[in-house]
Structure 1
Amino acid sequence: MDRAESITTAVSTSEGSSHGPSIPRLPVEVCERIIDHVAAGWDTGYVVAKGEPHLTTLTSCALVCQDWYYLTWYHLRQRIHLRDRTDVLSLSKMLRAKPRLREVIEQVVISGGSPGERQPIRHLGTFAAMLAGKAPRLSRITIEDAEWTIGSVRMDDIGFLGVFSAIDVLCLYKVTLSSAAQLRHLVSALPRLSELWCVNVDCSQKQHVSPASLPLNYANLEYLDVRWVAPAVEDLFVQISRASRVRNLIFGVDGELDPSSAASRSQTLLDASSTSAETVELNIYPSSPVRDDAIDATVERHCNLSHHDHLWRLEIYLWHPFAEWLWIPHILSRIVSKHFQAMAVMLRLRTDHNAEDLDGLLTTVEQDDVLARLDSILQEKHFSGTIASRGVCIGIGHNGDYWTSGNTGMGPALRERYDRLDELVRRKMPHSHGRGILSTVPNFQEFYSWREDMDDIHRQSMQAEQKKPAGEDAHPLAEGPQGSAD
């Protein structure tokens, strides 16, 4: 590791100490290997960095002593946060002083000066112009807590972002745009962009976006995340979805859903991706309760997946008080894709009301017939041979458990409630349980593991389908024991 300072050791005693036996010292090479191993486990692809265990460990290592601070310095700069022009100038100076850092930076976060407040980001243009070509491994740019006012960032400066040839992910989170054209220019400046995330993005523009306003590289976009954005931004996503081959769509549904309306903005976006989307994630945020006799019509007009012929995995996220839990059978019953293998329903508890929310959920699930109806739908012919082993997942989670594994962090009372939910799911879905397609998860980390398992099963089934003679089962890894790894 190139560093001007001499690295001694992280665990030592004073050289001249004569009090008691000396403590064995770890060779610096061992300390360095341990820290490198921790850093290798840090998945910088996660949008949520706070609480990530490897990052937390690295940060703790940096505080042990001066020696360990230097051992962790480069690792901790894989992700750089720039809050103002001064931060950009400091980074530019640092890159000149430590050229090796150029090969380290993988993510840059650009935000306003105060966390949680949307403030101007004039330094976006400064960053693009000053650092173009100086971070060849930069693959992700995140803009958050920002207000992009007219004239605050020159479009010519945005063009410099094209020099960052490795950027394939752009995230906007809690951003206010002056017009959708700003987003279009930003996307167009990134030739290799394949993932576009927009969450809580407002826009002053009121008029619709025309097809002529599409980003130049729209055909490369395969992963779209559009949740709770302004109509002009949503219009841009609709145009992109229609003109490209979007494979993964994450989408937010909220607001007043009128079951009598002829169409909806949410359904328009879903339909725009219907010919190509393979995975869909629906985030259904609580709105005014829908009458039981109007649920089917509401789903038909706002969450209808009947035209998604390539869909193989569906994820549905519900928030307390889980009124939309009753929608799940109506959503599932409309799926006709012959490739459908997996579905998850994640119920998001309030962080400070886990037990209370779970008690209410248990009462609801015990009293209603949602699970029984799901069980019946899953026995229909077009689902009988496609669902993967453990392919139907019911789980709970909250915003504070992204990095919690297994039952870690669950007290005895919460664990007992989760066990009751697991028992309820299996008891009320006996046919699916008997087929081995059911699973439950107690937190988001376990859910991510489930998703990875489903990805593996889908990948194997696609490989098997490519090799199989015509007429054989297209899903040899679906269901039961044959869906396991052995």
Structure 2
Amino acid sequence: MSTLPYLPYIPLEVAENIIDHLGEDIWSLRSCALTCRGWNRHARYHLVVSILVHSREDLHSIHDYFASNPHMASFVRSLSMLPVYGDKRPGCLLEVLPVDLLKLLPNLRRYCIVGVAWNPVIRIAFHDTTFIRIKTYLHVEELHLQALRFRTGAELARVLIALPQLQRLEYEGLKVDIKTADTSRFRDKCNMLSEVTVCT
């Protein structure tokens, strides 16, 4: 007659510390979430603290999840928009602000727009109503822009000043086609911005 192997008891504080060290290892976090009820909440927190959206379908399913689980929405701190490789219309994801989702995320602090490094010809252009929506619904302190092209420096400046609480800007692979545009009228508009990081 076989007996079950002895499984040592791990105090919850120790388990939570282990989960904290898993960082962004999604598969391990999922396993921890399924281990027991004690581990589930802490592991699920790490699974939703940073959300990555690859497509419009992702956007809808994430919205539906948080609409039906509003207690989980308060854990989200970072939202990243990153089209999948080979997407023929990445602007559909990058240039549209997911207002319905943003309304559900009261503690969002970081917003990332990651462009299409495999197709540097595509330029990002926000509609005027998007700037209004950014100002109304996107109350983030950090903005990360990567692999994006703007037509003018003024368009980039409009994105920054539409974020009144922006404190930290991080960018990588940012291109501006017309660098001679007058941006002097945008000076001193980002009063809270205190840190700019150029990633290489």
| 1:175 aligned to which of 143, 148, 151 | 148
Question: Residue in 2 aligned with 1:149?
Answer: 124
CA contact (8 A) 2:123 2:148 kept: yes
Matches within 5 A, 1:305-324: none
Deviations 1:146-194 (A, max 9, x none): 44434xx4331343233343x1111112222233233222212211111
| Residues 157, 210 of structure 1: alpha-carbon distance in 2 compared, 3 angstrom cutoff | closer
| Residues 214, 119 of structure 1: alpha-carbon distance in 2 compared, 3 angstrom cutoff | farther
Shift of 1:88: 1.2
Q: Is 1:112 the equivalent of 2:83?
A: yes
Matches within 5 A, 1:143-222: 143-146=113-116, 147-150=122-125, 153-162=126-135, 163-165=137-139, 167-214=140-187, 216=189, 218-222=190-194
CA contact (8 A) 1:140 1:170 kept: yes
Question: Residue in 1 aligned with 2:119?
Answer: none
Letter in 1 for 2:124: T
Letter in 2 for 1:92: H
Letter in 1 for 2:144: C
Question: Residue in 2 aligned with 1:22?
Answer: 4
Shift of 1:215: 7.0
Shift of 1:66: 3.9
Question: Residue in 2 aligned with 1:103?
Answer: 74
| 2:16 aligned to which of 8, 11, 36 | 36
Shift of 1:92: 0.9
Question: Secondary structure at 2:174's aligned position in 1?
Answer: strand
Shift of 1:91: 1.2
* Runs of 4+ more than 4 Å apart: 30-35
Q: Is 1:55 the equivalent of 2:24?
A: yes
Mapped to 1, the partners of 2:161 and 2:88 lie a distance apart of: 24
Mapped to 1, the partners of 2:88 and 2:149 lie a distance apart of: 7
Matches within 5 A, 1:57-456: 59-63=27-31, 66-67=34-35, 71=40, 72-114=43-85, 120-146=90-116, 147-150=122-125, 153-162=126-135, 163-165=137-139, 167-214=140-187, 216=189, 218-226=190-198
Mapped to 2, the partners of 1:122 and 1:225 lie a distance apart of: 27
Q: TM-score, normalising length from structure 2?
A: 0.77
Shift of 1:131: 2.1
CA contact (8 A) 1:187 1:215 kept: no
Shift of 1:79: 0.8
Shift of 1:80: 0.6
Deviations 1:79-118 (A, max 9, x none): 1111221111111111111111211111111122218x99
Shift of 1:198: 2.0
Question: Secondary structure at 1:122's aligned position in 2?
Answer: helix
| Residues 80, 168 of structure 1: alpha-carbon distance in 2 compared, 3 angstrom cutoff | same
Question: Secondary structure at 2:182's aligned position in 1?
Answer: coil
Question: Secondary structure at 1:75's aligned position in 2?
Answer: helix
Number of residue equivalences: 191
- Percent identity reads 15
CA contact (8 A) 2:55 2:93 kept: yes
CA contact (8 A) 2:132 2:162 kept: yes
Mapped to 2, the partners of 1:98 and 1:36 lie a distance apart of: 22
| Residues 132, 61 of structure 1: alpha-carbon distance in 2 compared, 3 angstrom cutoff | closer
| Residues 123, 63 of structure 1: alpha-carbon distance in 2 compared, 3 angstrom cutoff | same
Shift of 1:138: 1.0
CA contact (8 A) 1:59 1:76 kept: no
Structure scoring higher RCO (CA < 8 A, sep ≥ 6) equals: 2
Question: Residue in 2 aligned with 1:376?
Answer: none
Letter in 2 for 1:54: G
Q: TM-score, normalising length from structure 1?
A: 0.35
Name which one, 1 or 2, has greater alpha-carbon Rg: 1
Quote the RMSD (CA, aligned, Å): 3.2
Give unpaired runs (5+ residues) of structure 1.
Answer: 1-18, 42-52, 229-486
